[in-house]
Amino acid sequence: MGTKAAYWLGVITLAMMTAAIFMVFVYVPTEAQQGIVQRIFYFHVPCAWVAFAAFALVAISGGFYLWLGQQVWDDLAYASAEVGMLFCTLVLITGSIWAKPIWGAWWTWDSRLTTTLVLWLLYAGYLTLRVMANEVPQVGRLAAVVGIVAAADVPVIIVSVRLWRTIHPAVIVTRQGGHGLEDPRMIATLLVSMSAFTALCVWLLMLRFSTLRTTARIADLGRQLALAEAEMADRSGQVRGSS
Protein backbone atom coordinates (compact mmCIF):
# COMPACT_ATOMS: atom_id res chain seq x y z
CA MET A 1 0.00 0.00 0.00
CA GLY A 2 2.31 2.78 1.10
CA THR A 3 2.60 6.49 0.66
CA LYS A 4 2.08 6.64 -3.11
CA ALA A 5 -1.41 5.13 -2.91
CA ALA A 6 -2.27 7.39 0.04
CA TYR A 7 -1.01 10.42 -1.90
CA TRP A 8 -3.12 9.67 -4.98
CA LEU A 9 -6.19 8.84 -2.94
CA GLY A 10 -5.70 12.17 -1.15
CA VAL A 11 -5.60 13.99 -4.49
CA ILE A 12 -8.74 12.16 -5.72
CA THR A 13 -10.52 12.91 -2.42
CA LEU A 14 -9.66 16.59 -2.68
CA ALA A 15 -11.00 16.76 -6.25
CA MET A 16 -14.20 14.96 -5.27
CA MET A 17 -14.74 17.17 -2.22
CA THR A 18 -14.27 20.28 -4.40
CA ALA A 19 -16.89 18.94 -6.82
CA ALA A 20 -19.25 18.17 -3.93
CA ILE A 21 -18.84 21.70 -2.48
CA PHE A 22 -19.49 23.23 -5.90
CA MET A 23 -22.67 21.18 -6.30
CA VAL A 24 -23.91 21.93 -2.76
CA PHE A 25 -23.42 25.70 -3.01
CA VAL A 26 -23.89 26.42 -6.73
CA TYR A 27 -25.57 23.58 -8.61
CA VAL A 28 -28.35 22.23 -6.39
CA PRO A 29 -31.63 24.22 -6.05
CA THR A 30 -32.76 25.48 -2.66
CA GLU A 31 -35.41 23.32 -1.03
CA ALA A 32 -38.79 25.10 -0.94
CA GLN A 33 -39.85 24.39 2.66
CA GLN A 34 -36.61 24.36 4.66
CA GLY A 35 -34.71 26.93 2.67
CA ILE A 36 -30.92 27.23 2.55
CA VAL A 37 -30.32 25.29 5.78
CA GLN A 38 -31.44 22.10 3.99
CA ARG A 39 -28.03 22.12 2.26
CA ILE A 40 -26.52 20.79 5.50
CA PHE A 41 -28.20 17.53 4.52
CA TYR A 42 -25.72 16.98 1.61
CA PHE A 43 -22.84 16.56 4.06
CA HIS A 44 -24.82 15.32 7.07
CA VAL A 45 -26.11 12.16 5.30
CA PRO A 46 -22.68 11.20 3.81
CA CYS A 47 -21.12 11.66 7.27
CA ALA A 48 -23.70 9.23 8.66
CA TRP A 49 -23.09 6.77 5.82
CA VAL A 50 -19.31 6.66 6.29
CA ALA A 51 -19.65 6.50 10.09
CA PHE A 52 -21.92 3.45 9.78
CA ALA A 53 -19.60 1.85 7.20
CA ALA A 54 -16.57 2.46 9.45
CA PHE A 55 -18.34 0.93 12.47
CA ALA A 56 -19.38 -2.06 10.35
CA LEU A 57 -15.71 -2.46 9.44
CA VAL A 58 -14.82 -2.37 13.16
CA ALA A 59 -17.17 -5.30 13.72
CA ILE A 60 -15.87 -7.26 10.69
CA SER A 61 -12.20 -6.64 11.59
CA GLY A 62 -12.92 -7.45 15.24
CA GLY A 63 -14.48 -10.75 14.17
CA PHE A 64 -11.43 -11.60 12.07
CA TYR A 65 -9.13 -10.65 14.95
CA LEU A 66 -11.02 -12.95 17.35
CA TRP A 67 -10.88 -15.72 14.77
CA LEU A 68 -7.31 -15.40 13.44
CA GLY A 69 -5.60 -13.42 16.21
CA GLN A 70 -3.56 -11.38 13.73
CA GLN A 71 -2.54 -7.89 14.87
CA VAL A 72 -3.35 -6.38 11.47
CA TRP A 73 -7.11 -6.95 12.02
CA ASP A 74 -6.96 -5.31 15.43
CA ASP A 75 -5.17 -2.30 13.93
CA LEU A 76 -7.78 -2.05 11.17
CA ALA A 77 -10.59 -2.18 13.75
CA TYR A 78 -8.91 0.51 15.85
CA ALA A 79 -8.36 2.79 12.83
CA SER A 80 -11.98 2.28 11.67
CA ALA A 81 -13.37 3.06 15.12
CA GLU A 82 -11.43 6.32 15.30
CA VAL A 83 -12.45 7.44 11.80
CA GLY A 84 -16.05 6.33 12.42
CA MET A 85 -16.07 8.32 15.65
CA LEU A 86 -14.96 11.47 13.81
CA PHE A 87 -17.83 11.19 11.34
CA CYS A 88 -20.38 10.15 13.99
CA THR A 89 -19.46 13.29 15.96
CA LEU A 90 -19.96 15.38 12.82
CA VAL A 91 -23.36 13.74 12.23
CA LEU A 92 -24.52 14.71 15.73
CA ILE A 93 -23.16 18.27 15.46
CA THR A 94 -24.48 19.01 11.95
CA GLY A 95 -27.84 17.40 12.77
CA SER A 96 -28.11 19.61 15.81
CA ILE A 97 -27.28 22.74 13.79
CA TRP A 98 -29.94 21.79 11.20
CA ALA A 99 -32.50 21.04 13.93
CA LYS A 100 -32.30 24.46 15.60
CA PRO A 101 -33.90 26.52 12.77
CA ILE A 102 -36.16 23.69 11.57
CA TRP A 103 -37.44 22.19 14.86
CA GLY A 104 -36.67 25.16 17.09
CA ALA A 105 -34.43 23.06 19.38
CA TRP A 106 -30.81 21.91 19.26
CA TRP A 107 -31.72 18.45 20.51
CA THR A 108 -34.77 16.28 21.03
CA TRP A 109 -34.95 12.73 22.38
CA ASP A 110 -36.16 11.37 19.06
CA SER A 111 -35.54 7.68 18.35
CA ARG A 112 -32.98 8.26 15.58
CA LEU A 113 -31.09 10.92 17.49
CA THR A 114 -31.07 8.88 20.68
CA THR A 115 -29.89 5.68 19.00
CA THR A 116 -27.15 7.64 17.21
CA LEU A 117 -26.05 9.16 20.53
CA VAL A 118 -25.99 5.64 22.02
CA LEU A 119 -23.75 4.54 19.12
CA TRP A 120 -21.43 7.50 19.75
CA LEU A 121 -21.24 6.66 23.46
CA LEU A 122 -20.53 2.97 22.75
CA TYR A 123 -17.62 3.81 20.46
CA ALA A 124 -16.41 6.50 22.87
CA GLY A 125 -16.22 3.63 25.38
CA TYR A 126 -14.39 1.50 22.80
CA LEU A 127 -11.76 4.21 22.19
CA THR A 128 -11.42 4.92 25.92
CA LEU A 129 -10.75 1.22 26.47
CA ARG A 130 -8.07 1.29 23.76
CA VAL A 131 -6.35 4.35 25.18
CA MET A 132 -6.58 3.47 28.87
CA ALA A 133 -5.70 -0.22 28.63
CA ASN A 134 -3.33 -0.15 25.66
CA GLU A 135 -0.58 -1.99 27.55
CA VAL A 136 -2.87 -4.82 28.65
CA PRO A 137 -2.32 -7.82 26.32
CA GLN A 138 -6.04 -8.77 26.21
CA VAL A 139 -7.19 -5.29 25.15
CA GLY A 140 -7.46 -6.32 21.49
CA ARG A 141 -9.86 -9.16 22.29
CA LEU A 142 -11.93 -7.06 24.69
CA ALA A 143 -12.11 -4.19 22.20
CA ALA A 144 -13.14 -6.59 19.42
CA VAL A 145 -16.08 -7.82 21.51
CA VAL A 146 -17.11 -4.23 22.38
CA GLY A 147 -16.77 -3.20 18.71
CA ILE A 148 -18.97 -6.07 17.50
CA VAL A 149 -21.66 -5.48 20.16
CA ALA A 150 -21.67 -1.70 19.52
CA ALA A 151 -22.07 -2.17 15.75
CA ALA A 152 -25.40 -3.92 16.40
CA ASP A 153 -26.80 -0.42 17.01
CA VAL A 154 -26.20 0.59 13.35
CA PRO A 155 -29.17 -1.37 11.85
CA VAL A 156 -31.33 -0.12 14.74
CA ILE A 157 -30.54 3.49 13.75
CA ILE A 158 -31.31 2.77 10.09
CA VAL A 159 -34.76 1.27 10.77
CA SER A 160 -35.57 3.57 13.73
CA VAL A 161 -37.51 6.04 11.55
CA ARG A 162 -39.86 3.23 10.51
CA LEU A 163 -39.99 1.34 13.82
CA TRP A 164 -40.90 4.23 16.12
CA ARG A 165 -42.82 7.47 15.87
CA THR A 166 -40.18 10.06 15.03
CA ILE A 167 -39.83 13.62 13.75
CA HIS A 168 -36.52 12.88 12.00
CA PRO A 169 -37.02 13.13 8.22
CA ALA A 170 -36.75 9.91 6.22
CA VAL A 171 -35.31 11.29 3.00
CA ILE A 172 -33.31 8.52 1.31
CA VAL A 173 -36.19 6.03 1.66
CA THR A 174 -39.41 7.67 2.91
CA ARG A 175 -41.91 5.99 5.22
CA GLN A 176 -44.27 5.61 2.24
CA GLY A 177 -41.50 4.10 0.06
CA GLY A 178 -39.56 5.89 -2.67
CA HIS A 179 -37.22 8.79 -1.96
CA GLY A 180 -37.90 12.26 -0.63
CA LEU A 181 -35.73 14.25 -3.06
CA GLU A 182 -37.98 15.82 -5.67
CA ASP A 183 -35.28 17.27 -7.95
CA PRO A 184 -32.80 15.04 -9.85
CA ARG A 185 -30.06 17.62 -9.12
CA MET A 186 -30.57 16.93 -5.41
CA ILE A 187 -30.04 13.21 -5.99
CA ALA A 188 -26.92 13.89 -8.10
CA THR A 189 -25.47 16.20 -5.42
CA LEU A 190 -26.14 13.67 -2.69
CA LEU A 191 -24.49 10.89 -4.74
CA VAL A 192 -21.38 13.01 -5.44
CA SER A 193 -21.13 13.95 -1.74
CA MET A 194 -21.52 10.32 -0.69
CA SER A 195 -18.74 9.28 -3.11
CA ALA A 196 -16.48 12.11 -1.88
CA PHE A 197 -17.00 11.14 1.75
CA THR A 198 -16.42 7.46 0.96
CA ALA A 199 -13.06 8.38 -0.63
CA LEU A 200 -12.27 10.64 2.34
CA CYS A 201 -13.10 7.87 4.80
CA VAL A 202 -10.88 5.34 2.98
CA TRP A 203 -8.04 7.89 2.82
CA LEU A 204 -8.27 8.69 6.54
CA LEU A 205 -8.41 4.97 7.28
CA MET A 206 -5.21 4.44 5.28
CA LEU A 207 -3.44 7.25 7.14
CA ARG A 208 -4.54 6.04 10.58
CA PHE A 209 -3.84 2.41 9.76
CA SER A 210 -0.36 3.42 8.62
CA THR A 211 0.38 5.11 11.97
CA LEU A 212 -0.76 1.99 13.82
CA ARG A 213 1.40 -0.29 11.64
CA THR A 214 4.40 2.02 12.20
CA THR A 215 3.77 1.89 15.97
CA ALA A 216 3.73 -1.93 15.80
CA ARG A 217 6.99 -1.88 13.78
CA ILE A 218 8.59 0.44 16.39
CA ALA A 219 7.54 -1.94 19.18
CA ASP A 220 9.04 -4.84 17.24
CA LEU A 221 12.31 -2.96 16.61
CA GLY A 222 12.42 -1.97 20.30
CA ARG A 223 12.30 -5.66 21.25
CA GLN A 224 15.03 -6.53 18.73
CA LEU A 225 17.15 -3.66 20.05
CA ALA A 226 16.74 -4.82 23.64
CA LEU A 227 17.84 -8.34 22.63
CA ALA A 228 20.83 -7.01 20.69
CA GLU A 229 21.87 -4.78 23.61
CA ALA A 230 21.54 -7.74 26.01
CA GLU A 231 23.77 -9.81 23.73
CA MET A 232 26.27 -6.96 23.56
CA ALA A 233 26.33 -6.63 27.36
CA ASP A 234 26.72 -10.39 27.68
CA ARG A 235 29.71 -10.41 25.35
CA SER A 236 31.45 -7.49 27.02
CA GLY A 237 30.91 -9.30 30.36
CA GLN A 238 32.54 -12.43 28.91
CA VAL A 239 35.49 -10.42 27.61
CA ARG A 240 36.00 -8.77 31.00
CA GLY A 241 35.70 -12.16 32.72
CA SER A 242 38.32 -13.82 30.49
CA SER A 243 40.79 -10.90 30.90
Site for another protein, rule CB under 8 A: 35-37, 39-40, 43-44, 47, 86, 89-90, 93-94, 97-98, 100-101, 200, 204, 207-208, 210-211, 214-215, 217-218, 221-222, 224-225, 228-229, 231-232, 235
Choose between 121 and 226: whose C-beta lies nearer to another protein. Answer: 226
Residue closer to another protein (CB basis): 175 or 185: 185
The CA distance from 75 to 209, in Å, is 6
Smallest distance from the beta carbon of 68 to another protein, in angstroms? 25
Q: How far apart are CB 156 and another protein at their closest, in Å? A: 25
All residues at 6 or more sequence positions from 171 whose CB lies less than 8 Å from its CB, including other chains: 41, 45, 179, 180, 181
Q: Which residues pair with 31 in a beta bridge?
A: 35
CB of 158 to another protein, least distance (A): 22
Report how far residue 155's alpha carbon sits from residue 3's, in angstroms, rounded to the nearest whole number: 35
- 134 vs 211, which CB is nearer to another protein? 211
2: left (phi over 0), alpha (psi -120 to 50) or beta: left
Q: State the burial class of residue 214 (Cβ atoms within 10 Å of its Cβ: 0-12, 13-18, 19+).
A: exposed
The least distance separating another protein from the CB of residue 225, rounded to whole angstroms, comes to 5
Which lies closer to another protein via its Cβ, residue 49 or residue 98? 98
